[in-house]
Amino acid sequence: MHTWSTDQVDPKDRFDYWREVRAKGLFGVTAELEADRRRDFFGEFSLRKLGDAGLVELRASPYRVERRTGDIADAASNSLCIYQQLGGGGWFGGARLDEFSVRDGMFATSYSDLPYRTVPLHDDGFHLRIIKVPVANIVPSGAELGELVPRPLQDETALRALLESCFRDLIESNDAATAGTAPTVQALAHIALIERGIMRPKSRLAQQALRTAHLSLARRLIRRHLARAALSPTLIAGLLGISVRHLHILFEETEMSFSETVTALRLEQSRRLLREQPRQTIAEVAFACGFESLATFYRLFNASESMTPGDYRAQTA
Examine the pLDDT at 155 and tell me if it is beyond 80: no
CA atoms 278, 279, 280, 282: torsion sign: positive
pLDDT confidence tier of residue 137, bands split at 50, 70 and 90 = confident
pLDDT confidence tier of residue 178, bands split at 50, 70 and 90 = low
Q: Calculate the average pLDDT of the chain.
A: 93
Give the C-alpha separation, 83 to 262, whole Å: 32
pLDDT confidence tier of residue 274, bands split at 50, 70 and 90 = very high
pLDDT tens for each residue of 283-308: 999 999 999 999 999 999 999 999 99
pLDDT confidence tier of residue 79, bands split at 50, 70 and 90 = very high
H helical segments located in 32-81: 69-74
Look at residue 99 and give its three-state secondary structure: strand
What is the pLDDT at residue 156? 72
Q: What percent of the chain has pLDDT over 90?
A: 85
CA atoms 63, 68, 70, 71: torsion sign: positive
Q: Across residues 73-101, what is the average pLDDT?
A: 91
- Is the CB of residue 195 less than 8 Å from the CB of residue 155? no
- Is the CB of residue 40 less than 8 Å from the CB of residue 61? yes
Q: With CA atoms as reference, report the closest residue to 247 among 211, 206, 208.
A: 211
- Is the CB of residue 273 less than 8 Å from the CB of residue 285? yes
pLDDT tens for each residue of 23-67: 998 899 999 999 999 999 999 999 999 989 999 999 999 999 999
C-alpha torsion 51→23→147→98, nearest 10:
130
Q: Who has greater pLDDT, 44 or 173?
A: 44
C-alpha torsion 26→28→29→34, nearest 10:
40
pLDDT tens for each residue of 210-231: 999 999 999 999 999 999 988 9
pTM of the model: 0.90
pLDDT confidence tier of residue 1, bands split at 50, 70 and 90 = confident
Q: Across residues 188-193, what is the average pLDDT?
A: 96
What is the pLDDT at residue 147? 86
Check residue 123 and give left, alpha or beta (phi > 0: left; psi -120 to 50: alpha): alpha
Examine the pLDDT at 177 and tell me if it is beyond 90: no
Give the C-alpha separation, 131 to 225, whole Å: 29
Give the C-alpha separation, 162 to 240, whole Å: 9
What is the pLDDT at residue 157? 77
User: What DSSP line would sit under 221-232, residue for residue?
Assistant: HHHHTTT-TT--
